[in-house]
Amino acid sequence: MRCALSRPDIVLAIDTSAAHCAAALLFGTHEPGRKETLRIVSRSEDMAKGQAERLPGLVDAVLRDGQVNLADITLLAVGVGPGNFTGIRIAVAYMRGLALGLGVPAKGVTTFEAVAMHSGAKPFPYWVVMDAPRAEIYAQRFPQGKACILTSSVQESLDAPVLHRNELGPDALVRAIAEHAYHTPTDARSRPAPFYLRAADAAPSSDPPPVILS
Amino acid sequence: MTQALTFLGLESSCDDTAAAVVRHLPGTAPEILSSVVIGQTDLHAAFGGVVPEIAARAHAEKLDHAVEAALANSGLGLRDLDGIAVTAGPGLIGGVLSGVMLAKGLSAATGLPLVGVNHLAGHALTPRLTDSLPFPYLMLLVSGGHCQFLVAKAADHFVRLGGTIDDAPGEAFDKTAKLLGLAQPGGPAVEREAALGDAKRFAFPRPLLNQPGCDMSFSGLKTALLRARDALIAEKGGITIQDRRDLCAGFQAAVTDVLVEKTRRAINLYRDLAPNDPALAVAGGVAANQAIRGRLTALCAASGLHFVAPPLALCTDNAAMIAWAGIERFRAGHQNDFTLVARPRWPLDATAQPMIGSGKKGAKA
């Protein structure tokens, strides 16, 4: 489908998975047989809270930078984490609303995929890692490993070079999210979902019910 | 404004993911074109209560499906709507945020006006959706998360006469069910057992009945029930089916007595407004309890008030009430931009004395 497009793809990407609010626009050309030069514009702001109130305005600003309207967007991309649970829900919910309203597909991109995208032609294998709470790290081995939680100390003894998520600022992260979405096949039916990696913190009820005497 | 308005409503402040489409032409009764509620009871069953993070996760991934289903059921598309109303609080913040962000995305994509709605206003305006009740009316909102008396004076003007200073009755019903090994949600289970029990066997307290005013307290009642249960267990190693029925009956009678007496006082305060056509409306899941409803109906009959109880599906959390409250607010000139804030705490009557959690974050409800 993508190759047949007569007009360029315009990807809107957002990320609020950490203490920032970030948005990017990617202009693709899809000209067969030619090496593509992608134009990407982006904006980001550092913020510990308030992403939910700021995100729509930041998206407007990046649309103005790119001189397009929401109606021109052909693909939506959202950073799904891992990261701050509330942050990734903010971005995912906003994107699902945009996708439904615009009638265009939305794609979730994990932080690992974005970091790998950003690293470009770095030879496999390598690990992408990021800090996690409780002296742990989130990690994924590329090209084919599954994302997992490891204790921080094993980071020293991983079996391949390590890319750390902190090497990317918010702009680089959201640009990589846009690029990753642009370069991977789109399933119009799939919807972006938060990538938590950690189960919800909840303990089953501990009080046993009373014995019922007959 | 006399034109017909059709609004989409979104609700995600507790453990129900809901979307609905409501249309209203002034001078006619509002029409609920669709109302979809996706519950989460199964997700929370193992934990003995609603787990906020589990609820937030479910809302974020179900809301857009609920919207699509509501639109499909209404036979309308987004272009047929005049606005989007969303619960912006009070409630579990993760779920409220998911709803608010989805609504912002939909609004940005479609250009439709966005209206943030107080969840409690949704409940409090439901009697106008179902029965076109004129202002001012007295409202008893009694659910798993809330319990308060309000006088609804206008779509954006509510006066709180009193409310619980701690737990909500629905929460006490759930806790009672849990303590007695009954299924969740506890309201229907406790009501069924209570119907077969002797309400006089256990003497449970009627908290705050000796205090003037309309404030209530239910946390001590839970403790009293726990003590009565544990005394039985200490005596014979467990409780019998009949013990359980009697405990339920005693508990329900205490809750009912408190609600009815406080409602009687609230009616007196409401009467000072000299309403032309006085009415008491109820909302919330606890209002479905037949014993409570029966006593309130009798009280209203004796006091010369209409008793208005919306159908159960519109008493418990739903999005039709949010769509309707959005229409009423929009007509009153309210609209929000994309900086609309999701609020865990949001008292409906900002001028009343804070009752719950009046710490540094402000009153809860």
pLDDT, tens digit (0-9, with 9 covering 90-100), for A127-162: 999 999 989 999 999 999 999 999 999 988 999 999
Query: What's the predicted TM-score (pTM) here?
Result: 0.93
Contact call for A200 and B57, based on CB within 8 A: yes
Does the pLDDT value for residue A5 go beyond 50?
Answer: no
Same domain? B247 vs B215: yes
Per-residue model confidence (pLDDT) at position B170: 93
Same domain? B105 vs B142: no
Residue B350 in domain: no
Confidence of residue B361 (pLDDT cuts 50, 70, 90): low
Per-residue model confidence (pLDDT) at position A207: 79
Per-residue model confidence (pLDDT) at position B354: 61
Pairing of strands A162-164, A20-27: unpaired
Confidence of residue B274 (pLDDT cuts 50, 70, 90): confident
Percent of chain B with pLDDT over 70: 96
Residue B355 in domain: no
Same domain? B291 vs B162: yes
Q: Which residues of B touch A49 (CB under 8 A)?
A: none
Chain A touched by B68 (CB under 8 Å): yes
Q: Taking residues A20-31, report their average pLDDT.
A: 90
Does the pLDDT value for residue A1 go beyond 60?
Answer: no
Does the pLDDT value for residue B363 go beyond 70?
Answer: no
Does the pLDDT value for residue B200 go beyond 60?
Answer: yes
Does the pLDDT value for residue B305 go beyond 70?
Answer: yes
Owning domain of residue B19: 5-132+313-331
DSSP labels, B250-307: HHHHHHHHHHHHHHHHHHHHHHTT--SS-EEEEESGGGG-HHHHHHHHHHHHHHT-EE
Minimum distance, in Å, between the CA of residue A160 and any CA atom of chain B? 34
| Surface of B (250-289) touching A: CB under 8 A | none
Does the pLDDT value for residue B359 go beyond 60?
Answer: no
Same domain? B100 vs B186: no
Chain B touched by A123 (CB under 8 Å): no
Chain A touched by B236 (CB under 8 Å): yes
Residue of B86, B96, B101 to mutate for A, most A C-beta atoms under 10 A: B101
Same domain? B281 vs B157: yes
Q: Taking residues B251-267, report their average pLDDT.
A: 97
Q: Which residues of A touch B93 (CB under 8 A)?
A: 86
Contact call for B109 and A213, based on CB within 8 A: no
Residue B347 in domain: no
Per-residue model confidence (pLDDT) at position A187: 84
Cβ atoms of B174 and B49 closer than 8 Å: yes
CA distances for B215 relative to B152, B168, B293, B355, angstroms: 18, 12, 19, 9
Which residue in the block uniquely carries the two structure tokens 């959005």?
B326
Residue B53 in domain: yes
Q: Taking residues B94-108, report their average pLDDT.
A: 98
CATH classification at residue B233: 3.30.420.40
Minimum distance, in Å, between the CA of residue A134 and any CA atom of chain B? 18
Residue B357 in domain: no
Which tokens sit at B79?
A: 């272009």
CA distances for B236 relative to B229, B241, B248, angstroms: 11, 13, 19
Residue B317 in domain: yes
Confidence of residue A4 (pLDDT cuts 50, 70, 90): very low
Nearest Cα residue in chain B from A59: B108
Contact call for A205 and B46, based on CB within 8 A: yes
Q: Could you tell me which of B36, B188, B81, B337 has the C-alpha nearest to residue A101?
A: B81
Neighbours of A157 (CB within 10 A): 6
CA distances for B325 relative to B52, B87, B123, B365, angstroms: 25, 10, 9, 18
Same domain? B317 vs B305: no
Same domain? B275 vs B307: yes
Per-residue model confidence (pLDDT) at position A2: 47
Per-residue model confidence (pLDDT) at position B353: 64
Contact call for A212 and B241, based on CB within 8 A: yes
Cis peptide upstream of residue B311 (ω within 30 degrees of 0)? no
Same domain? B38 vs B64: yes
Q: Which run of H or E residues covers position A97? A: helix A85-102
Chain A touched by B80 (CB under 8 Å): no
Does the pLDDT value for residue B256 go beyond 90?
Answer: yes
Q: Could you tell me which of A72, A41, A73 has the C-alpha nearest to residue A58?
A: A41
Same domain? B271 vs B160: yes
Chain A touched by B114 (CB under 8 Å): no
Minimum distance, in Å, between the CA of residue A144 and any CA atom of chain B? 27
Does the pLDDT value for residue A214 go beyond 90?
Answer: no
Q: Coil, strand or helix: which one is A130? A: strand
Per-residue model confidence (pLDDT) at position B240: 96
Contact call for A194 and B180, based on CB within 8 A: no
Which residue in the block uniquely carries the two structure tokens 């609804």?
B152
Same domain? B271 vs B210: yes
Q: Taking residues B3-24, report their average pLDDT.
A: 97
Q: Which residues of A touch B114 (CB under 8 A)?
A: none
Greater confidence, A37 or B59? B59
Residue A26's beta-bridge partner residues?
A11, A40
Residue B182 in domain: yes
pLDDT, tens digit (0-9, with 9 covering 90-100), for B30-67: 999 999 999 998 898 888 778 999 999 999 999 999 99
Percent of chain A with pLDDT over 90: 79
Q: Taking residues A51-63, report their average pLDDT.
A: 98
Cβ atoms of B78 and B304 closer than 8 Å: no
pLDDT, tens digit (0-9, with 9 covering 90-100), for B235-244: 999 999 999 9
Residue B149's beta-bridge partner residues?
B140, B162
| Helix/strand number for chain A, H first, E second | 4, 10
From B94, B104, B229, residue closest to A94, measured CB to CB:
B104
Q: Taking residues A100-122, report their average pLDDT.
A: 96
Confidence of residue B357 (pLDDT cuts 50, 70, 90): low
Q: Taking residues A48-60, report their average pLDDT.
A: 97
Chain B touched by A93 (CB under 8 Å): yes
Least confident span in A62-66, A106-110, B206-210: B206-210
Cβ atoms of B177 and B183 closer than 8 Å: yes
Contact call for B97 and A100, based on CB within 8 A: no
Q: Is A202 exposed, middle or buried (0-12, 13-18, 19+ CB in 10 A)?
A: middle
Ramachandran angles phi, psi of B31, nearest 5°: -120, 125
Same domain? B150 vs B292: yes
Q: How many domains does the structure of chain B reveal?
A: 2
Does the pLDDT value for residue A95 go beyond 70?
Answer: yes
The size of the A-B interface in CB pairs under 8 A is 146
Q: Which residues of B touch A62 (CB under 8 A)?
A: none
Per-residue model confidence (pLDDT) at position B281: 97
Chain B touched by A211 (CB under 8 Å): yes
pLDDT, tens digit (0-9, with 9 covering 90-100), for B143-188: 888 999 999 999 999 999 999 999 999 999 999 999 999 988 899 9
Does the pLDDT value for residue A31 go beyond 70?
Answer: no
Q: Is A198 exposed, middle or buried (0-12, 13-18, 19+ CB in 10 A)?
A: middle
Same domain? B141 vs B127: no
Residue B336 in domain: no
Cβ atoms of B325 and B155 closer than 8 Å: yes
From A91, A100, A204, residue closest to B106, measured CB to CB:
A100
Q: Which residues of A touch B179 (CB under 8 A)?
A: 207, 209-210
Query: Mean of the per-residue pLDDT values for chain B?
Result: 93
Contact call for B101 and A52, based on CB within 8 A: yes
Contact call for B108 and A101, based on CB within 8 A: yes
Residue B119's beta-bridge partner residues?
none
Q: Taking residues B179-203, report their average pLDDT.
A: 94
